[in-house]
Chains A and B, each alone.
Chain A
Amino acid sequence: MKCSGKVWKFGSNIDTDAIIPGRYLNVTDPEELAQHCMENENPRFVQEAKEGDIIVAETNFGCGSSREHAPIAIKAKGVSCVIAKSFARIFYRNAFNMGLPIIESEEAVDGIREGHEVEVDLASGEITNRTTGQRYRANPIPPFMQEIIDDGGLMKHIAKGRS
């Protein structure tokens, strides 16, 4: 599976309240959550991000809450992939479970600027910067997690195992 789109770049420690503020805790409609995604961090993102765009961030992306609103809001906004130097642990699990592709790559984060056009091959972990022509390697996704993604998220993965 390949993702490609324009890059929105963010800093370190983008917490779950930055991704989707806690005051929207009672909202369950993904489309509505998407309208507030990153609104405190970069209001332009909500207005201008397009289907397929990619989020690139520094370290500890998604720190804070265990609420799945965070990956749900990003996915519903149409973001095809999040690349970061590191992810907070609970967000990492939640993203896979919700079917939001995320990968870790220090060199990609250092090489990619806001607005670059980037392509990600999730299976091989290869990231191509179409704007500069550079290529980067991502840390491989553990095989059993790849299985969860291939099955379309944790719920479908479990349903498959029990059928």
Chain B
Amino acid sequence: MEQDLAYYYEVGQMGIEHALLPEQGIVVPGDLVIGADSHTCTYGALGAFSTGVGSTDLAAAMVTGELWFKVPETIKLIYRGKLRPWVGGKDLILYTIGQIGVDGALYMAMEFTGDTIDSLPMDGRFTMANMAIEAGAKNGIFHPDRITEQYVKGRARREYHFYKSDPGARYKEVREFDVSTVEPQVAFPHLPSNTRGISEVGTVTIDQAVIGSCTNGRIDDLREAADVLKGHKISPNVRLIIIPATPSIYRQAMKEGLFDIFLDAGSVISPPTCGPCFGGHMGILAKGERAIATTNRNFVGRMGHPESEVYLSNPAIAAASAVLGRLGSPEELGRKR
């Protein structure tokens, strides 16, 4: 108020920035964006070049309007095939990081392409771009298309531009994945690259499930969780924390009746916020506790005690696991898609 900031979001209007800024049309396709948060790479989903920096770099750019960049080399990732039930953007990016490692795209741009990507909804694209940093990448970028256009129309507060790679672009590396056989993925402690298919997780009991964050707190994510939770109660041994990422996602979920499903199942619904993902608040893990989370990092002590464990997954797997009391899939609950 005192500083007369145009884009200041007080409690009641606030949300997780990487969901809020695209939703409010503040970040648009073709932008070059820096943010003092490593998951700033999320806006690559719109076809914006966006990357995380420290707060000193950010302050320098605010003062001078400039910042130095090295043009990154690019790794092109081509995804082909129809996705299996309960498989989405989160599974594709976890699978990719599992294949290339947490420094597999170090200093590079990840370009996500292929027919699977062409039909991937925006929310799935945001999830994928969000986790590019987990492979060490500078950014993760999509070619803007009809799906992008539909999302941006009516939101964008400025003119936007669709940029695509040149047909003859040079790539540091090109990788192709047939994703028609990829199952829902779970990243085991303590790295996002430590992935397994859901059929290979064995018996891992959990104390907490978190559905939310800048990675998976959007409306499609909440719908997916509700699809699984409908008619079920969560295990008495599990806390299920659901966090819609922005006020408008919160309202939309309420309107669609998702809150009834979540509350009937026995979960707690948080106001839009960050928190449990980095052990901040709302579900900090105690010694020896295990959580499944739709967040993006499972480093040692990330969600609380150094001897706690975090397993990363998509919202459907997190919801099913909350019901089962252990890592598991919606199919075990008789849910078909």
Residues of A within 8 A of B (CB): 13, 15, 17-18, 21-23, 25, 40-41, 59-60, 63-68, 86, 88-90, 93-94, 97-98, 144, 153-155, 158, 162
Q: B63 and A40: CB pair below 8 A?
A: no
> Does residue B300 face the partner (Cβ distance < 8 Å to A)?
yes
Is residue B25 contacting chain A, with contact meaning CB distance below 8 A? no
Which A residues are in CB contact (< 8 Å) with B106?
A: 60, 86, 88-89
By a CB distance below 8 angstroms, the chain A residues around B304 are: 23
For A65, what are the chain B residues with a Cβ–Cβ distance below 8 Å? 38, 278
Contacts of B284 in A (CB 8 A): 23
User: Could you tell me the distance in whole angstroms from the C-beta of B242 to the nearest C-beta in chain A?
Assistant: 21
Q: Given known contacts A89-B107, A158-B60, A158-B64, what 20 new A-B pairs fall within 8 Å (CB)? A: A13-B191, A15-B299, A17-B278, A22-B280, A23-B301, A41-B300, A60-B102, A60-B103, A60-B136, A63-B102, A65-B278, A66-B38, A66-B54, A68-B56, A86-B106, A93-B57, A94-B53, A97-B56, A98-B54, A154-B57
B301 near A17 with CB under 8 A, answer yes
Q: Contact between A22 and B56 (Cβ–Cβ < 8 Å)?
A: no
**Cα(A154)–Cα(B56), bound, Å:** 7
Interface residues in B, total, Cβ within 8 A:
34
Pick the contact of B56 from A59, A94, A162 — CB < 8 Å? A94
Name B193's closest neighbour in chain A (CB-CB): A13
13 example contacts (A-B, Cβ-Cβ < 8 A) are as follows A15-B297, A17-B299, A23-B279, A25-B280, A63-B102, A63-B103, A65-B38, A66-B37, A68-B55, A88-B103, A93-B57, A154-B60, A158-B63
Most chain A CB neighbours (cut-off 10 Å) among B40, B133, B299, B300: B299
Residues of B within 8 Å of A13, CB to CB, are 102-103, 191
- Decide yes or no whether B8 CB sits under 8 A from chain A: no
Q: B residues within 8 Å of A by Cβ?
A: 36-38, 40, 52-57, 59-60, 63-64, 68, 102-103, 106-107, 133, 136, 138, 191, 278-280, 284, 297, 299-302, 304, 306
Rank and list the top 5 A-B pairs by shortest CB-CB distance, nearest first: A22-B278, A60-B103, A94-B54, A66-B38, A17-B299
Compute how far the CA of A13 lies from the CA of B136 in the bound complex, rounded to whole angstroms: 10
Whether B279 lies near A98 (C-beta < 8 A) is no
Q: How far is the CA of A161 from the CA of B138 in the complex (A)?
A: 27
Which residue, A21, A68, A98, has most C-beta atoms of chain B within 10 A?
A21
Give Cα A60–Cα B299 distance, bound, in whole angstroms.
14
User: Chain B residue with minimal CB distance to A65?
Assistant: B38
A155 and B60 contact, Cβ closer than 8 Å, known pairs A66-B37, A89-B106: yes
A88-B188 Cα distance, complex, nearest whole Å: 21
- Given the complex of chains A and B, what is the CA–CA distance between A94 and B56 in angstroms? 8
Query: In the bound complex, what is the Cα–Cα distance between A13 and B300 (angstroms)?
Result: 12
Contact assessment for B302 and A17 in the assembled complex, using a CB-CB cutoff below 8 Å = yes
Asked whether, in the complex, the Cβ of A90 is within 8 Å of the Cβ of B63, the reply is no
CB distance from B194 to the nearest CB of A (A): 11
